[in-house]
Amino acid sequence: MAFVEKINKKLKKKGLNVTASEYNGAVRLTGEADSWEEVLEAGRIAAHVRGSRGVVNDCRLKGRSPETVRMPKNEDKSLEGIAPDVLVIGGGIVGAAITRELTRYAVTVAVVEKEYDVGTAQSARNDGMIHAGIDLKPDCKKVKYNVRGNKMYDALSKELDVPIERPGQLVLYTAGWQKLIFPLIKLRGLRNGIPVYPVSPRGVKEYVREPGLGFGGFMCPSAGIVSPYLMTIALMENAAHNGAKVYVDTAVTGMEVKEHKIVSVATNRGTIYPKAVVNAAGVFSDRIAEMAGDRHFTIHPRRGVEAVLDQKAYPKAKCVLGKFVISGSSGSGHTKGGGVIVSIDHNLLLGPSAKECAERENEATTREELDEVFEKQSRLAPELKRSDIITYFAGTRAATYEEDFVVEKSAVTTNFIQAAGIQSPGVTAAPAIAEDVARWAVQEVLGELRKNPSFDPVRKGIPVVREMSGETRARLIAENPDFGEIVCRCEQISKGEIIAALHTPLKVDSVDAVKRRVRAGMGRCQGGFCQPTVVRIISEELGIPPEQVTKKGAGSEVAPYPKRGSV
Amino acid sequence: MNYGLIVIGGGPAGLKAACSAAEKGLKVLIIEREAQLGGILKQCVHDGFGVIRFGEKLTGPEYAYRDITEVKRLGIECLTGTFVTGICDKDGGFVVETTSAQGIRSDFTEKIALATGCRERTPRQVNIHGTRPAGVLAAGACQNFVNLKGLLPGKRAVILGSGDIGLIMARRLTLEGAEVIGVYEAKATPSGLQRNIRQCLDDFGIPLHLKTTVTDVYGDKRVEAVRVSAVDDSMNPVGEGEIVECDLLVVSVGLIPENELAEKLGLQTDPATKGIAVDQYMMSAGKEGVYAVGNALHVHDLVDYVSEGAATAGADAANTRKRSLVKVGAEGLMYVVPQYVDVSDANEKKTFYMRAPRDMAVASVKLYADGELVAERKLKNVKPPEMLRIQFKFRASDSITLRLEEEE
């Protein structure tokens, strides 16, 4: 193929010890690089080539042993022989949206997630923005699914009882001349169906008490916010309510593919025999693609760190704030630059940063990254103080070298559908991606789009005591006194809410799973006061010995040793 | 219902404030969010409480029991398992809204005492990075697990911070069969009381590493190790540090007064104490009728002083005073409580609680009224962890300043 020659020339010119060859319609890179930066550089050189399906970067990093994958500790045969019509791999927001969408049709669905709960990786480790999409290049899959997904969120919020808000995103100019570009931005908005209007320097002050940039900007009113993990949970709960089987602690270890068709999928809990398989495996989606015989992209993890601020800082910024970034034509800068994000719970978030890293599951934060995030983003609202930070977290994005989503019915493996390489704006795009993916999967299995007549789109959330009027609260407590017993003092979460979190369609039994569902432990004391009580409630309610209650699944017992003499 | 005083918080401060107000004839209500009275003392099973007040070494529960007995004897009404959800001004008093398993309720009170205690600074507030596995606990949470839940959170512990709870937990974990590898303190001097260093570390051979901190946590599901590193004078880590294997990191890096309710009332906090500013009766300088007592006002070293201050507040709640407040200047001190004094009674002995910024072998606290030195106290062996309590009598004046000076 002609493009291989060209790429090899470029690689040589850069002095990289890497060779390009043709593989599965894509460019495969092999060789050994001295640094991760070199691996990335080779990948970028090979990307965006006409006629190529993508980049398969098998370039090794010198001295690096193969990456270990965090695997579930359990092994059994409990899933041996099950044969769902569709198997979804990955219980993040994309997998959850697809699973729910599939239950609209007359197919049986199972989803496997290797972690102890759904939505623990990228889907929990992002800022929860429902992006407007103004910053995305026209004509890419990202913008198409983003704009469609954005519009679906209002209905989704109502059906699934998950709050969203649309405070809008204010993009601030970093220099006075930038306002001259506004007509172009407006045009781009028109082309992609994204409303946008200019905001004067004075107008900015209505949103930010003390803006750090005084040149005005523009507002994208369709930008919204949602709790990304709560939305993931809600989608999956509704899917389970409609008959989907959700298996956590279940990792895919291999596949049997015969004549371009997946015959079976091996897991740590037995072999599954699905009619169609959906790849929604996030940072591992290229590994799953390889098992299924259609790898034509590579995930290069990009880590982001976000700082969470005390709710007391909320009045300092009342909408999402971003900075105007002019994206270069080439370049490796693939972050929207982050900003100050108002979370649905009215904590401000600062971030995210964007740092390429070799490990897909490296969710550790570093001092340097946090410093960088704070220094960069607090410039937008200089009133924000370092001491407002109550916690911080990191996540890894599933970026591909094409920097676009891979949403497609496989051209190679007939019963395989990919929703891979989904990173920002994945939360926004997930519901739209799910519509297409579910249709392809159902068509593959049934040969038609037959509906499930008993599909119920409605999910009832756990009552939120702190937001109730006195009257409603009184009525609820009269019905169930547990809702009057406040356990998490910072966030005012009652025992009733914690118990309810344990009895939703997705059975959970860990402290962090409870935290993501009802916010117990998410306030300024970060669980210092309520954690021992939450452990006790889980133990009592589920009949688990207290020493076996975990923070986040097997191996993370909070207080694993009963004391001498205690029962 | 209508009350003369509602006390929010049923720990040692709240209990004592309630008793002394009831003794003066006020109708008092105690609101406690936990199921039992006693506050944090419930989990402090070690002894050393009450030496000043009772001349005895009591355990935490024993100390609390004495006040609880008194509360019962005085017939003070208590709502346990009850959480204050709202508080607002009304007709010169306050309306307090609560939620409990019994439902919601709203009470009127003429005066209010905030005895809400404090919370612990979190690992993240001292810039600990790395992963977020099980086995990283604030010292108070660790104490709760061990002493109230009967569970040991780990068998090989590293303790960050030499605050008193950290020191107490070093001993407690050792007694429960865990190995405590060491206590690490970023500051050059320990944060806890000398007696706790002796009784909890030295007596058990637990090393204390000063000017050293924990920077990173390793481990996926459970802590496997931490990185400890020396710090420079501005407490920034220097060098690579070293890896210490452990399955538990206990963090005891300071306490922050809980003042969310004071903020609901629009009261500003003193940046030095993180509590509200008060006069010598612990009444808010900014708002009449609101008292703050115990660790919600400022973090104390000994519960005996908590009770003393709370007694003052409770008794004052029965009075009506015409206040004439003068700001108390603090020089060479970390903080002084009260931040204001009512100078209308010149014959009254006024009690000041303060903390020194650093160790001093010999020092004196000087009191200036209108710029003139009017009283002085010599002090020996001054240390920041040990609160200074000094009483002064002085004439009415327009300005009061307390100055701590080191002497040769």
Tell me what the mean pLDDT of segment A94-114 comes to: 98
Q: Which of A367, A474, A557 sits opposite B129 (nearest CB)?
A: A367
> Please, which pLDDT band fits residue A86 given cuts at 50, 70 and 90?
very high
Tell me what the mean pLDDT of segment A275-294 comes to: 98
First to last CA, chain B: 59
Q: Quick count: other Cβ atoms within 10 Å of Cβ A463? A: 18
Look up residue B93 and give its amino acid: G
Burial of B376 (0-12, 13-18, 19+ CB in 10 A): middle
In terms of CA atoms, which chain B residue is nearest residue A528? B141
In terms of CA atoms, which chain A residue is nearest residue B83? A486
Tell me what the mean pLDDT of segment A349-375 comes to: 93
**Exposure letters A272-284 (e unless 16+ CB within 10 A, then b):** bebbbbbbbbbbb
Task: Dump pLDDT digits (tens) for A129-156.
Answer: 999 998 888 789 999 999 999 999 999 9
Mark yes or no for CB contact B150/A558 under 8 Å. no
Mark yes or no for CB contact A477/B220 under 8 Å. no
Measured between CB atoms, does A478 come within 8 Å of chain B?
yes
In terms of CA atoms, which chain B residue is nearest residue A564? B176
DSSP A92: S
In angstroms, the CA B298 to CA B315 distance is 20
Per-residue pLDDT, A333: 43
Measured between CB atoms, does B119 come within 8 Å of chain A?
yes
List strands edge to edge, sheet with A224-226: A129-130, A224-226, A164-165
Per-residue pLDDT, A329: 36
Q: Which of A363, A389, A486 sits opposite B99 (nearest CB)?
A: A486
Look up residue A275 and give its amino acid: K
Three-class secondary structure of residue A463 per DSSP? coil
Measured between CB atoms, does A365 come within 8 Å of chain B?
yes
Q: How far is B161 from chain A (nearest CA, A)?
A: 16
Pairing assessment for the beta strands A109-112 and A245-247 based on DSSP bridges: parallel
Task: Dump pLDDT digits (tens) for B358-370.
Answer: 999 999 999 999 9
Per-residue pLDDT, B357: 95
Three-class secondary structure of residue B98 per DSSP? strand
- Tell me the whole-structure pTM to 2 decimals: 0.95
- CATH code: domain B122-253 is 3.50.50.60
CA atoms within 13 A on the CB side of A263: 5
Measured between CB atoms, does A240 come within 8 Å of chain B?
no
Measured between CB atoms, does B33 come within 8 Å of chain A?
yes
Q: Which of B120, B138, B221 sits opposite A555 (nearest CB)?
A: B221
| Residue A308 bridge partners (DSSP) | A349, A391
In terms of CA atoms, which chain B residue is nearest residue A567? B150
Under a CB-based contact definition with an 8 Å cutoff, are residues A218 and A236 in contact?
Answer: no
> Please, which pLDDT band fits residue A332 given cuts at 50, 70 and 90?
very low
**Nearest to A71, CA basis, from A133, A115, A19:** A115
**Residue B145 with chain A: CB contacts under 8 Å:** 532, 535, 558-559
Under a CB-based contact definition with an 8 Å cutoff, are residues A556 and A564 in contact?
Answer: no
Q: Which of B102, B125, B131 sits opposite A484 (nearest CB)?
A: B102
Three-class secondary structure of residue A163 per DSSP? coil
* ipTM value greater than 0.85: yes
Fold classification of B322-408 (topology level): Immunoglobulin-like (2.60.40)
Q: Which of B103, B149, B215 sits opposite A484 (nearest CB)?
A: B103
Under a CB-based contact definition with an 8 Å cutoff, are residues A99 and A236 in contact?
Answer: yes
- H/E stretch holding A189 reads helix A182-192
Per-residue pLDDT, A567: 45
**Residue A370 with chain B: CB contacts under 8 Å:** 127, 129
**Nearest to A345, CA basis, from A127, A152, A23:** A127
Measured between CB atoms, does A554 come within 8 Å of chain B?
yes
Mark yes or no for CB contact B102/A70 under 8 Å. no
Measured between CB atoms, does B257 come within 8 Å of chain A?
no
In angstroms, the CA B109 to CA B94 distance is 5
Catalytic residues of A: 131
Tell me what the mean pLDDT of segment A536-555 comes to: 97
**Residue B83 with chain A: CB contacts under 8 Å:** 486, 489, 492
Q: Which of A392, A536, A552 sits opposite B124 (nearest CB)?
A: A392
Task: Dump pLDDT digits (tens) for A228-263.
Answer: 999 999 999 999 999 999 999 999 999 999 999 999
Under a CB-based contact definition with an 8 Å cutoff, are residues A495 and A482 in contact?
Answer: yes
Measured between CB atoms, does A564 come within 8 Å of chain B?
yes
Under a CB-based contact definition with an 8 Å cutoff, are residues A286 and A93 in contact?
Answer: no
What is Dmax (Cα atoms) for chain B? Answer: 64
User: CA angle, corner A317, sides to A314 and A318, nearest 5?
Assistant: 85
For chain A positions 418-447, those within 8 Å of chain B (CB to CB) are none
Mark yes or no for CB contact B131/A363 under 8 Å. yes
Under a CB-based contact definition with an 8 Å cutoff, are residues B252 and B313 in contact?
Answer: no
Per-residue pLDDT, B223: 98
Where exactly does CATH 3.50.50.60 map onto chain B?
1-118+255-321, 122-253
Q: How far is B358 from chain A (nearest CA, A)?
A: 23
For chain B positions 39-98, those within 8 Å of chain A (CB to CB) are 81, 83, 85, 97
**Residue B220 with chain A: CB contacts under 8 Å:** 70, 555
| Residue B96 bridge partners (DSSP) | B87, B107
- H/E stretch holding A39 reads helix A36-46
In terms of CA atoms, which chain B residue is nearest residue A529? B141
In angstroms, the CA A21 to CA A55 distance is 10
List the structure tokens of B43: 């989990």
Measured between CB atoms, does B140 come within 8 Å of chain A?
yes
List strands edge to edge, sheet with B129-130: B129-130, B212-218, B225-230, B242-245
Measured between CB atoms, does A558 come within 8 Å of chain B?
yes
| DSSP for B101-144, written as a single string | TTEEEEEEEEEEEE---EEEPPGGGGT-EE---B-EEEHHHHHI
Mark yes or no for CB contact A556/B133 under 8 Å. yes
Mutation for B interface: A367, A374, A475, A540, most B CBs within 10 A: A367
Look up residue B296 and give its amino acid: A
Q: Which of A390, A486, A563 sits opposite B151 (nearest CB)?
A: A563
> Which residues 6+ apart lie within 8 Å of A328 measured at CB?
none
User: CA angle, corner A141, sides to A137 and A145, nearest 5?
Assistant: 105
Mark yes or no for CB contact B104/A546 under 8 Å. no
Kindly report the CATH class assigned to A465-548.
mainly alpha
Say how many CB pairs under 8 Å bridge A and B. 141
**Exposure letters B271-288 (e unless 16+ CB within 10 A, then b):** ebbbbbbbbbbbbbbbee
Mark yes or no for CB contact A526/B122 under 8 Å. yes
- Is residue A308 predicted with pLDDT exceeding 70? yes
In terms of CA atoms, which chain B residue is nearest residue A510? B134
In angstroms, the CA A515 to CA B218 distance is 22
- CATH code: domain A169-221+300-399 is 3.30.9.10
Can you give the residue ranges of every domain in chain A? 2-61, 87-164+222-299+401-461, 169-221+300-399, 465-548
* CA distances to A94, B166, B237, B339 from B177, in Å: 47, 17, 32, 45
Task: Dump pLDDT digits (tens) for A19-72.
Answer: 999 999 999 999 999 999 999 999 999 999 999 999 999 999 999 888 889 999
Per-residue pLDDT, A231: 98
Three-class secondary structure of residue B387 per DSSP? coil
For chain A positions 444-473, those within 8 Å of chain B (CB to CB) are 465-466, 470, 473
Q: How far is A100 from chain B (nearest CA, A)?
A: 29
Mark yes or no for CB contact A546/B33 under 8 Å. no
Q: Which of B101, B138, B144 sits opposite A485 (nearest CB)?
A: B101
Q: Which of B129, B131, B177 sits opposite A564 (nearest CB)?
A: B177
Task: Dump pLDDT digits (tens) for B118-130.
Answer: 999 999 989 999 9
What is Dmax (Cα atoms) for chain A? Answer: 76
Kindly report the CATH class assigned to A2-61.
alpha beta
In angstroms, the CA A550 to CA A529 distance is 17
Q: Quick count: other Cβ atoms within 10 Å of Cβ A75? A: 12
Per-residue pLDDT, B41: 98
Tell me what the mean pLDDT of segment A330-345 comes to: 68
Q: Quick count: other Cβ atoms within 10 Å of Cβ A58? A: 15
**Residue A558 with chain B: CB contacts under 8 Å:** 134, 145, 151, 153
CA atoms within 13 A on the CB side of A355: 22
In angstroms, the CA A49 to CA A45 distance is 9
> Please, which pLDDT band fits residue A524 given cuts at 50, 70 and 90?
confident
Measured between CB atoms, does B344 come within 8 Å of chain A?
no
Q: Which CATH architecture has domain A87-164+222-299+401-461?
A: 3-Layer(bba) Sandwich (3.50)
Look up residue A147 and give its amino acid: V
For chain A positions 326-345, those within 8 Å of chain B (CB to CB) are none
Mark yes or no for CB contact B85/A489 under 8 Å. no
Per-residue pLDDT, A334: 45
In angstroms, the CA A209 to CA B210 distance is 42
In the predicted model, what is the mean pLDDT of chain A? 94
Region of poorest pLDDT, from A197-201, A384-388, B256-260: A384-388
Per-residue pLDDT, A318: 86
Peptide bond into A481 cis (omega under 30): no
Per-residue pLDDT, A336: 56
- Is residue A326 predicted with pLDDT exceeding 70? no
Under a CB-based contact definition with an 8 Å cutoff, are residues B303 and B294 in contact?
Answer: no
CATH of B1-118+255-321, one of 3.50.50.60, 3.40.50.300, 3.30.70.270, 3.40.640.10: 3.50.50.60
All residue ranges of chain B with pLDDT < 50 are none
> Please, which pLDDT band fits residue A331 given cuts at 50, 70 and 90?
very low
